[in-house]
Amino acid sequence: MNRVIKTAGLSKRFGKKRVLNQVDLDIGSGKIVGLIGPNGAGKTTLLQSLLGLCVADGEIDVLGFDPRRERAKMLEQVCFIADTATLPRWMTVKQTLRYVADVHPNFNEARARDFLAKTSVSLSSRIRSLSKGMVTQLHLALVMAIDAKLLVLDEPTLGLDLLYRRTFYDALLNDYYDEGKTIVITTHQVEEIEHLLTDVMFIVAGDIVLNSTVDDFEARFTKVSVNSDKLDQAQALGPIGEIKTLGTKQYLFDGVERSRLEPLGSIARASLAEVFVAKATQGGVA
């Protein structure tokens, strides 16, 4: 596995406010990593630090480059889409493709045109006339046409309807991703990306509170619909969260052996969203 991102002691403050606290990352090629956290947790600051968009303390290595000193060379192998990403509104789509072809050495204009041919985005349209969903499709076409080793997505589908979001992620997985690429995604729509991920990280108040492969996550966390006569036994096993539902109580457990949970009731898979809420509230009610 080739290393793509490595940090040690990555920290950032804005005045007296700590935004990142000694973050250590080690991400290899071929990974699709979900970075999950509430508003203000430090997700965007972490991504911006990796991209050289803000200066943070600690060690940072992205594709063999320090983004604070070698950002231009690093960006030849990196793509980035943010919810605030903008394109020149006066340009046509065709002019945008030509511009990117002129400035990025790894851009394949023909591939971008092929992707756009599958959408309703016209090459003659000006950016200002496109809907938010169409602009996102154009961004995706630009990204998918660049032979980059790292793709960073910061809330890429924010404000899009369900159909556009699903189309975006389907194209990302089926037409872009391969084992030589690494993708880092932040989103509040956790359920929509859960099936894509190989790894997941939870960040809360600048701290990474969970860093796991999806396989290890599924083996570690369990949800149990507890029988009414087993509630005391369930509490004694130290659940990290409780999910209130009609007619039953569901508890989340971290690292408790399945053989100890089976007598309590019905066992099910714990979702990323359920475990995140429990972790973010430090074992509070999910």
Q: What is the spatial distance between Cα 72 and Cα 74, in angstroms, rounded to a whole number?
A: 5
Q: What are the residue ranges in the chain where pLDDT is below 50?
A: 283-286
Tell me the C-alpha to C-alpha distance, in Å, between residue 254 and each of 50, 71, 222, 260: 31, 40, 7, 12
Tokens at 57, concatenated: 């303390």
- Do the bridges between strand 17-28 and strand 32-36 make them parallel or antiparallel, or are there none, so unpaired? unpaired
Distance CA(52)–CA(74), nearest Å, equals 9
Q: What local confidence, expressed as pLDDT, does residue 85 receive?
A: 58
pLDDT at 143: 82
Q: What is the pLDDT of residues 130-142, one digit of tens each?
A: 988 888 889 888 8
Structural domains of the chain sorted by starting position, each given as residue range(s) with its CATH number in brackets: 3-205 (3.40.50.300), 217-280 (3.30.70)
pLDDT at 285: 38
DSSP element (H, E) containing 250: strand 248-254
Residues above pLDDT 90, as percent of the chain: 60
Amino acid of residue 43: K
Q: What is the pLDDT of residue 157?
A: 80
pLDDT given at position 286: 38
Q: What letter does residue 56 receive in the DSSP assignment?
A: -
pLDDT of residue 36: 94
Q: Considering only the C-alpha atoms of the chain, give the largest distance between any 2 of them, rounded to a whole number of Å.
A: 69
Q: DSSP string spanning 176-206? A: I--TT-EEEEE-S-HHHHGGG-SEEEEEETT
- Name, in order, each residue with C-beta under 8 angstroms of 188's C-beta and a sequence gap of 6 or more: 155, 158
Confidence (pLDDT) at 282: 66
Strand order in the sheet with 241-245: 241-245, 248-254, 221-226, 265-269
Tell me what pLDDT residue 29 has: 93
Task: State the Cα–Cα distance between residues 28 and 20, nearest whole angstrom.
Answer: 21
